[in-house]
Every structure is written in structure tokens, then in C-alpha cells.
Structure 1
Amino acid sequence: MSLLNSQYDALMRQYDEKREIHRHEQLDREEEIDRVLPEYRALTDKISSLSVEAARIRIFDPQADLSSYTYELERISEKKKALLVSHGYPADYLEMQYDCRICRDTGFMNGERCVCFRKAATQLLYREYDISDILEKENFSHFSFDWYSDTIQIESTGRTERQFAREACDKAQQFIKKIGQPDNNLFIYGNTGVGKTFLTHCIAREVIENSHSALYFSARDFFEILADAVFERDGRDGSYERMILDVDFLTIDDLGTEVTSSFVSSQLFFVLNERIRRNRSTIISTNLSPMDLSQQYSERIFSRIISHYSIARLVGNDIRLQKKIHGGNS
């Protein structure tokens, strides 16, 4: 699991708040019992007195037989529980309560992150990933090869639409398994409506389920954020831009739909190059082929993608149009 420092800190603050809330609740219950059952407090004081007495004896005589103290302490503890139950309270009414009894709301168990931490991290990542609602519908369980012809061969390749789609999915699965490894990047290209964005959403769902940090941007939003940072617009402090460089998984969707300029080209190169250097995984989806990319942006960007990205192509008819004509949601 890999979270940004700010995300990890946010989760740990949640655990601190949980423990504080439950501690206050426990104090409230103790005050209630002191008020309703004064004899319970007397038993508690008796346990404290016996414990201190036994400890004093142990200090002066480490070999002393304290079995009678042990017996009496256990007897009083059972009497306390019985007293609570006889007045309609659970036997553990005064014990600290936890949302997670495995880790006792610390987030860790035996030095490992608890299952509740992993669940909380996944929920946090979904909230911060801008298209979390879409991921409920657009994921591998809803991905269908039926929208890709298994008979129509693509000129110059001799391969069918479905073969291209299966190869793209295979590369997507490899990408998911290798998040954080060197040169684990994916460039998905093809005409409008052939499932590029859908596939990136499928990948995002799996990556987030594995509790990796993720960000999604359309190309236009992506470059607008970078421009705001460079030109210090909207009072930005640069934290969001640092996240772009550090996040485990970055998606830039529909590259080529933004207004291109030397600024766009230089910023794109900087981000791609820096993320390659940091072993951060990136997906680019676009209508542009790699060769088109070199013409629209720069040879340097083309070189980085050819050298450090796996290339996947999707071909076929517009799936959205097919769904309207034939019906279906897959």
C-alpha cells in the first residue's frame, strides 16, 4: 500500500479522533455507574488496594506466594461483572469500546496495517479520485469484448478489433500488477468511442482497490492546473502539483484535446520525465498515435513514451453509438 504523506496523516488523524471519542464515552459510562451503583466503585477501590498491597509484598519478597491475592482479585472482578449484569448492563459496559477490535483503533496489528486501515485507505482514495462514482459502473466486470468485431481485420496488421482489445486488456492487467516498478506506464490510443477511457477507468478501479494513491485528469484540466501553479494563479501553494509528481497512479485522459502551445509541451515533458525518474506509473489515453504525438508536441515527448511506455491500441466502431443502436450497458 502506498499513500501520499498527506493521505496517511489524514487517516491517522481519523484514528486519533476515534480513540478520543471512545475514551470520552468510556468516562461518561464510568460516571454513570458511579452515580447509579456506588457499590461498584467500592469494589474497584478494593481491587486497587489489593493490587498495591500485592505489589509491595512482591518488591520485598520476589518469591512470595501471591495466589491468595490473585484469587481474591479474580473473585472481585467477577463480582463487579455480576453487579453490572444484575442491573441490566452488559458485563463489559465499562471497557473501552473500539470500532475495530483487531487493532483497537490504532490502524496497526503486530506492526502491519490492519484490515480496517486498508479499507479506510481505499475509501479515502475513492473520495479523492474525481470519478469515483463512474468506477462503480466502468470496471473490468462490465468490460465486454462483444463490442469489438472478431471478424473484421485491420488493414496492414491482419488482426481483428477483438485481438487488439484483448492485447490492450492484457497490457492493462500487467500494468496493474507492476504499479511502482520502473517503466510501468501505458499509452492507450485509438479513435473516438472505442473504449480508451473505459479501460483507464477499469485500471483505476483495480489500482485503488489495491490502496494505491491515484489522480485522474482530463488533458484540459491537467494543463490548467499546471498553468495555475506556474503563473501562481488562485493562490495555489504548489501542493496539488507536487501530488501530480508523487501520486502512485496518474491518468491523463484525452491528451490532444487541449490547446497546444510551447508551454503545454514543456510541462507535459517535465511531468512525464519526472514521474519516470521517480518510478511513478502513468496512463495516457489519446486519439493521437505515437507518431501524431511527435508532430503535435515534441520529439522529446515521443522518445520518452516510446522508451518508457507500453503501447496499446483500441480499434473499432464507436461503442457509445453501438449501444444506442443495439442497446446494452456493457
Structure 2
Amino acid sequence: MPTSQSTVAVVGLGGTIAMTATPDGGVAPALSAEQLVAAVPGLADTGITIEVADFRRVPGASLTFADLTALADTIRRLCAKGVDGVVVTQGTDTIEETAYFLDLRLDLPQPVVVTGAMRNPTLAGADGPANLLAAVRTAASPTTRNLGCVVVFADEIHAAHRVRKTHTTTCATFASPDGGPLGHLVEGTPRILNHTTRHPMPAGIDTRGDVRVGLVTATLGDDGHHLSTLDGHVDGLVVAAFGAGHVPATWIDPLDKLARRVPVVLASRTGSGPVLTATYGFPGSERDLLDRGLVNAGFLHPLKARILLHALLSADADHDTITAAFADAGHTTPGDRHPQP
């Protein structure tokens, strides 16, 4: 349990949790971090001291790598000042990407918790206050130290590299298909049920604005023409492939050419489960593509794979370093072949 001396910083980025009505009948980010904190029932009774930082007021869809780099710097400064944990409130559209970015960039003992809301404050049953209270309790708890960045939503605690938004409207949208949540809040207390391995990036990496990482999704009948237009326009590419790592035969040649020039990472569009290494042997299978130099993302979701590849390219990592980093993050082993009996 947090002590009466626990201090948590709440950093507001905007998103649905901070939205109010606009003249045209919609909603847009307008509430400050201080206003969000003031609207949480029971927060004052926890004994946790709250500091606020009004960082951005934008929709989650409008966040940039520059915003996240500045956010990481802000969190480092807050932790250096001695806060016991940090809560980031933002739009749910990109929570899974923000959380993984922070998990890679911050190697801190203090918990960093990202949360938000699916129902804006103008609606009955708005979930923002409950999520913010749970996030503050999680950030203040000694049991969540050294877990890296986590997402807290609907009283569940999720690891940054696992969590995904799975539904457009439900308040229980966040899930971790590979491994489940790290824990839950029970009667307001964080209970950690399992742990996972983190692989933060080395300190001092700059997120360069000139690094471009593309993401393409395999679809039935695609002739692959768009892949040829990427040559010379991206520094790296993530392929969200069919199933266990398969693409149409028409994609083989353009991917082969791209992989000779830039790192190309092979992930699965399914949303859970790993890219395989040696089960299928047809042209465009995972074996074929890995033999052509594509990098295996393993269990890493395509959106996470893009964040990791962007970080590695910002650090000027070579192909071997990139392959090893994805082997660690995706829980696979570079170059391994595991024939089926």
C-alpha cells in the first residue's frame, strides 16, 4: 500500500479523458491535468500527494515521436525530483504505442503508468475518474516498482509490450493476448500476478525526426505494387503478414529488394502468437522470408515492432543489432530453425 508520503505526478496529454463538448456537438480535449485530478472521487482520501503537469491537450491520434521524446524527458525530470511514480493520461487510440515507447526509453525504478478513458466526461458512466484513481494507486505502490511502463485500465495492469486496444468502444478495450495482464487492482490495491522481461534501450538515444518506418499489412489478392514505391522513402519497414508470417507470392520480389537496402521486420497481423521460423516452406512463407533477410518479430505486435525499429534506427543500429533486439523483445532466437516432427 502507498504511504501517506507517496507522491505521484500526473502528466496530461489530452485524449477522451480530457474532452468536453464543442459547439458542433462533438467533443475535443480541453480539460487540464489539474481539472482531471480534481474530478476523481476518493483520490484525496488515499493520502497520496499529487503533482500535475499539463503537457499537451491533443487527441491520441495526433501525438508524434517528438511529443513522446519530450514526454520521456519530462518523466525523467520528475523522477529525478523524487516522485514515487508517474501517471500519463492520454487518448486511447495510441496508448499501446506510447506505453511501449516509454518502456523502451525509460529505465527507471519508479512505475510509469499510462491510462485514459473510453467514455468522455460528458457521458453517463464516464470511466476516466476510475481509471485515473487506479493508475495513481498503481504508480504509488511499491509492488509495481521496476516493472517499467504499464497500462492501467478497467482495474487491470498490463505490460507495455503486450497490451493492445481490442475494441472501438467498450470500456474493457485493453487486453494482453499473449500472456494476459500483469495483475489487477483488488479493493484499490495493485496485485501483481506475473512478471515479464523488459528490454529497455540504452540511455541517450535521440529520436530523430528524419527516421521513417513504414508499416504494411498483407491482404488477400494484393499485387504488391505499393511495396515498390517505398524504395528510397523509408529507413525501415514492418510487414504485418498473414498468419505465422506469410505474404502473397507477388510480394516476394519487392520485399527481397527492400530487405537488401533497409531492415524489414516480419510480424503477424493476427494480433497474438509468434511468427514461426521453419514450419512452412512455400514461396512467401516465414522460412522463405527469413532466409531473404527479413527480421523475425516473434511475439511482438506490428505496432510495437514499428516503435522498436524506429528506436533502433534512431540509434544507428546495424542489422545484427536489430536482429538481436527483436529476438529479445519478441522472445525468439535469431536464426533458429525448429522443424516439426
TM-score by length of 1: 0.26
Look at both structures and tell me which one has the larger radius of gyration over its CA atoms: 1
Greater relative CO, 1 or 2 (CA 8 Å, sep 6+): 1
TM-score by length of 2: 0.26
Larger helix fraction of residues: 1
